[in-house]
Amino acid sequence: MTTTLTPPADSADNAADAAKAPRRSRRPRSARAGGTLHGGPIAYAILILFTLGSLFPLVWTAIAASRDNNRLAQTPPPFWFGSNLFRNLDVAWTDANLGEAFFNTTFVAGVSAAAVVIMSTIAGFAFAKLRFRGRGALMLIVIGTMMVPPQLSVIPLYMMVAKLDWTDQLQAVILPSLVSAFGVFFMRQYLIQALPDELIEAARVDGASSWRVVWHIVFPAARPAMAVLGMLTFVQTWNDFLWPFLVLTQTGNPTVQVAVAGLGRGYTPDQSLIMAGALLGTLPLLLVFAIFGKQIVGGIMQGAVKG
């Protein structure tokens, strides 16, 4: 499987192409296909429809969270905000112990993002730029591990955790999330392109050891990709459900997802409270997306694989 990195969004090229071609080209209309063609009204209609579909459940979560439970059990369902938002958020926050859950999840996601970024960068650098025996085979193993379903490891991990008496402890959640084959792959792809060999050679001639090369050259060169990988890992760990759900009992030391899921599993569920909890569990990441959305999109597109 050969892999190449998609070049950064080539909208600049497209713009240049478009500028070169006069508006009324003598070439057939279809010659300007691909990125150079302007979207028509139908394209915009479809996009707006999908955008609404993407955002509607999120907005409606907020609407439902601002109502009271009785109003949600009526037709038609509410389409606009009520007045109970802050009360519901407050109750959900207390009921689900969300304060502690937020602290736990931020800690878990932060540690795992930092570890994944650092380990992936140095391993990715080795795979991208250093020659060593077994490089190809080891890289194949890395790619192969991306295919192993996490459910396979859940049972022995649970046994290990139970034996170590770590159930309900955060380290039980953190340790398996420290390693990411995708991260190694992602950084390798980035560094192949972003790190000129001459820079490493120059440092070598100056007598720098490998660790100094990593510290003074690789880390600075990889910083943009490290930021993206860090955010992606943070999002993924923040949203992880299966493993935290299994090792953290719902009253012990919950992550946000376990706490939010716990709200939905009470015997007399108050839907508006559940929605308030769901909203609280989603809001921090939506904020991250609102701020860094462009970079995250770019990162995902850059990590896209062409086999």
Partner 1 sequence: MATRHDTAAPPVKEGGAAPARASADAAPTEAEQRHRARLSRRWQRDIRWSPYAFVSPFFLLFLAFGLFPLIYTGWASLHQVELTAPTDMEWVGLRNYTRIFDDDFFWNAAKNTLTIGIIATVPQLLMAMGLAHILNYKLRASTFYRVAMLAPYATSIAAASLVFVLLFGRDYGMINWALHQVGIGAVDWQNDKWPSQFAVSSIIIWRWTGYNALIYLAAMQAIPQDLYESAALDGASRWRQFLHVTLPALRPTILFTVVVSTIGASQVFGEPLLFDANKGASGGAEHQFQTLGLYLYEQGWVNQHLGRASAIAWTMFLILILVGIVNYVISRRLRASS
* Near partner 1 in 147-166, by CB under 8 A: 147-159, 162-163
Shortest reach from residue 284's CB to partner 1, in Å: 9
CA distance 66 to 63: 5
Binding of partner 1 by 251 (CB under 8 A): no
Of 62, 88, 8, 65, give the one whose Cα is nearest residue 286.
62
Binding of partner 1 by 119 (CB under 8 A): yes
Q: Are 234 and 110 in contact (CB under 8 A)?
A: yes
Span of 39-47, 84-92, 106-114, 165-173 interacting with partner 1 by CB under 8 A: 39-47
When the beta carbons of 73 and 198 are compared against partner 1, the nearer one is 73
Residue with tokens 């701020």: 291
| 3-32 residues near partner 1, rule: CB under 8 A | 4, 6-7, 9-10, 13-14, 17-18, 27-28, 30-32
Binding of partner 1 by 307 (CB under 8 A): yes
Phi, psi (degrees; rounded to nearest 5) at 108:
-60, -50
Residue with tokens 């999330």: 177
Shortest reach from residue 111's CB to partner 1, in Å: 13
Phi, psi (degrees; rounded to nearest 5) at 306:
-115, 115
Q: 156 vs 7, 160, 240, CA distance in Å?
A: 41, 6, 19
Span of 48-56, 80-88, 106-114, 221-229 interacting with partner 1 by CB under 8 A: 48-56
- The secondary structure of residue 164, as a DSSP letter, is T
| 177-236 residues near partner 1, rule: CB under 8 A | 178-179, 181, 184, 203, 206-211, 214, 216-217, 235
